[in-house]
Amino acid sequence: MFPVLSHRRIDHVLVRDPVEVPDLVAAAVMGACRYLPVPAFVLVPFLGRARADGAGRPLSDSLADVTSASVALCPPAPGVDGGGAPAVGGQGWSAAAPAPAGDLDPDPPTDDAPSVPSAPGPAPAPDAVVTLHREGRPPAWVVIEAVGLDGRLSGIDGLDDPGRRLAAHWAAARRSAGREGVPLAIVLVTTGSSVPASLFAEARDAVRRAGEPPAPLYGLSWRAFATVARAVGAPPLVLSDLLDLLEGAWGLVEVQWASWPVPPPPAAALQFAAAVRWPPPPRALPACSADPDGGFP
């Protein structure tokens, strides 16, 4: 699949630039990681680059004891990789807890007229959930939400509230916490250089309104993936094809910011200025005489 995209064989049927479709980028990267022999070798350092609220402490501080990792794309419920199947016996990623049976329909169902729950349906699943396995501790879930160049979550339109969706993911992960896993972080991954600060603020407000404890929100860029993957070592074929796609066809290359040189301390600057000896100006200008023909010699 990756060579088809990287060689632009289907550009004529795409109506938008792939970089403007954040869930496509997320599916390509996280889908390729599912087929790596040891996904943790790339996923742990990549996720470790994420920073709290986009600029705070790195997530790597919480990943020191990870022994292995697995990826679920669009899981129907936290900690479940059902291949796109609907969640069983739960609300999946819904913002609301499962409603009691008596609250679903005031009239008992019949065989030809099944009841329709009045409780909210499942919210859209995140793009991926990475399960990080740790020795002697429950696995940790990292929820992955893709963010576009416009700052919107994947698959969201102008009527949706991104903060409410992220709050729903956090609440669902907390409800599902147990021996199978515990929520560790929600990582917003953008195709741009950084996640807009407004997205973190909207999510924090939505979590607070929902009565949930603060959610650990982190920001990351897909542009860092190729840098991390190449630093790990010689990539396997599936990862090599992915890197060609990200860097060559989609231009998702990490921006290397050059740092300004450190200015000298004031004392050193004054010593330098005092040590400079500029040549004195001439005491008198050389005499010049006019040429009889009207010119100068």
How many C-beta atoms lie closer than 10 Å to residue 62's C-beta?
Answer: 18
User: Residues 122-127: what's their mean pLDDT?
Assistant: 76
Q: Which of 156-160, 244-248, 280-284 has the lowest mean pLDDT?
A: 156-160
Cα distance from N-terminal residue to C-terminal residue, the chain: 80
Decide which of 265 and 109 is more confident.
Answer: 265
Residues belonging to the chain: 297
User: pTM to 2 decimals?
Assistant: 0.75
User: Is 133 in contact with 165 (CB distance < 8 Å)?
Assistant: no
Q: What residues have CB less than 8 Å from 151, skipping those under 6 apart?
A: 190, 195, 196, 198, 199
- Taking Cα atoms as reference points, which of 47, 68, 37 lies closest to residue 128? 47
pLDDT average, residue stretch 252-272 = 70
Say how far apart CA 128 and CA 167 lie, in whole Å.
Answer: 16
E-state strands within the chain: 51-52, 66-73, 128-134, 137-147, 182-190, 217-221
Angle 289-293-294 from CA coordinates, rounded to 5°: 60
